[in-house]
Amino acid sequence: MLSRTADNLFWIARYMERAETAARLLEVGSRIALLPSAAGYRNEWDSLLQASGNADAFARKYGEPVQRNIESFLFFDRDNANSVASCITTARENARIVRTALTAQVWDALNSAFQELRHLERTPRSELELSRLTEWTMRHAAMVRGAIDATLLRNDGWDFLNLGYHLERADNTARLMDVKYYVLLPKVDFVGSGYDNYQWTTMLRAMGAHRAFHWAYGGEVTAAKIAHFLILNRQSPRSLITCVDGLSDHLDRIAKAYGTCTPAQEAARAMREGIEALTVEDIFEEGLHEFLSRFIGVNADMGALVRNTYLDGDR
């Protein structure tokens, strides 16, 4: 397959996953903001921007982080390459370029998301509840994902799409968990308080994992259980270990199809072994924020390795 085609497929997946994360970030923020605010706290919305790595770009354009501006920035703003609107537009444009590598159903799903987006952009903002925007995004992301799973040939193109999904999802889960760090940072003594638990629960809701968590663990919501669920539990579809598994599996499929193993496969295997050996205690000992920062770095290196190996065509 042409490197450029593989690259386009890889980024279609990354952008769709990223759109979903932007929506989930908005969801987390709006729920956290429903708590009575305590003077001296860092602004919750600001913490979202910090975690998504967009704080500077936002400040330059909008200044104060108030909800309406953040909604604009994370959903509608075309200047923000990571907004829902930008991500869906770019994913659809990439799909148009590689139409022949996709089924009609996948194209339909991406194209109709884009057409509806254009309609949303013409709708007066007063008629658009935040929850409607986030649900809309998640619904379309799921439709694209479903079309891919149900109709696409299981060839190398499918693997590159899935590499995109898993790399991006791992990054996003780590960043969403890190929001918690930014929110809590000022007052360490809140750890373990009711407020703390409320925030953790919100995080679970944002990842659509609230119910799933209770099925898997039951009882008290604790930081340790949640960290386990989102990092180390293979049952959780968004956990870091699930993403790393997927990454490694799809790279192995590619190696088998092409008949050559590359440093990318080795790196993914090392990543998987590293995370498998961890316990929640290890993570808390290192510090959750430190662990997540390190993971985000390793994951980014992994992405670069995939690009150098397969997507750049030796340029």
Partner 1 sequence: MTTYFNEMYQGKSVRPPYARLEDWMKSMPAELRHMKQAEAEALFRRIGITFAVYGEGGDPDRLIPFDMFPRVFTSSEWSRLERGIKQRARALNAFLVDVYGRGEIIRAGRIPSRLVYQNAAYEKAVAGFRPPKGVYSHIVGIDLVRTGPDDFCVLEDNCRTPSGVSYMLENREIMMRMFPDLFRENRIQPVEQYPELLRRTFASVAPDKCDGEPTVVILTPGHFNSAYYEHSFLADLMGVELVEGQDLFVEGGFVWMRTTEGPRRVDVIYRRIDDAFIDPLCFRPDSMLGVPGLMDVYRSGGVTICSAPGAGVADDKAVYTFVPEMIRFYLGEEPILQNVPTWQCGKSDDLKYVLEHLAELVVKEVHGSGGYGMLVGPKSTKDQVEAFRARIIADPGNYIAQPTLALSTTPTFVAEGIAPRHVDLRPYCLVGERIELVPGGLTRVALTEGSLVVNSSQGGGVKDTWVLAE
Using CB under 8 A as the binding rule, whether residue 2 contacts partner 1 is answered as yes
Binding residues for partner 1, rule CB under 8 A, total 25
Site map 105..124 versus partner 1, x via CB under 8 A? --xx----------------
Q: How far is CA 26 from CA 118, 168, 242, 302, in A?
A: 20, 18, 24, 27
Using CB under 8 A as the binding rule, whether residue 97 contacts partner 1 is answered as yes
Spatial contact of 114 and 122, defined as CB atoms under 8 Å apart: no
- Interacting positions 188-247 with partner 1 (CB under 8 A): none
Which are the contacts of 298, defined by CB distance < 8 A and separation ≥ 6? Answer: 271
Measure CA 188 to chain center: 27
Least distance (Å) from partner 1 to the CB of residue 306? 10
Interface stretch with partner 1, choices 4-12, 79-87, 126-134, 283-291 (CB under 8 A): 4-12
Residue selected from 99, 132, 256, 294 as contacting partner 1 according to rule CB under 8 A: 99
Using CB under 8 A as the binding rule, whether residue 78 contacts partner 1 is answered as no
CA distance 48 to 44: 7
Using CB under 8 A as the binding rule, whether residue 69 contacts partner 1 is answered as no
C-beta of 258 vs 284, nearer to partner 1: 258
Two structure tokens written together for 161? 């799409």
Site map 244..263 versus partner 1, x via CB under 8 A? ----------x---x-x---
DSSP-derived letter for residue 36 is P
Interface stretch with partner 1, choices 62-70, 94-102, 129-137, 237-245 (CB under 8 A): 94-102
Site map 284..313 versus partner 1, x via CB under 8 A? --------------------------xxxx
C-beta of 156 vs 196, nearer to partner 1: 156
C-beta of 95 vs 292, nearer to partner 1: 95
CA distance 258 to 254: 6
Using CB under 8 A as the binding rule, whether residue 93 contacts partner 1 is answered as yes
C-beta of 107 vs 136, nearer to partner 1: 107
Pick the closest to residue 30 from 208, 202, 186, 204 (CA basis): 202
CA distance 44 to 67: 10
C-beta of 295 vs 310, nearer to partner 1: 310
Spatial contact of 5 and 98, defined as CB atoms under 8 Å apart: yes
Two structure tokens written together for 176? 């969403």
C-beta of 107 vs 182, nearer to partner 1: 107
Annotate 208-237 with b (16+ C-beta within 10 A) or e (fewer).
Answer: ebeebbeeeeeeebebebbbbbbbbbeebe
CA distance 12 to 129: 27
Site map 123..162 versus partner 1, x via CB under 8 A? ---------------------------------x---x--
Least distance (Å) from partner 1 to the CB of residue 109? 13
Two structure tokens written together for 245? 């598994």
Spatial contact of 182 and 45, defined as CB atoms under 8 Å apart: no
| List of residues contacting partner 1 (CB under 8 A) | 1-6, 93, 96-97, 99-100, 104, 107-108, 156, 160, 254, 258, 260, 310-315
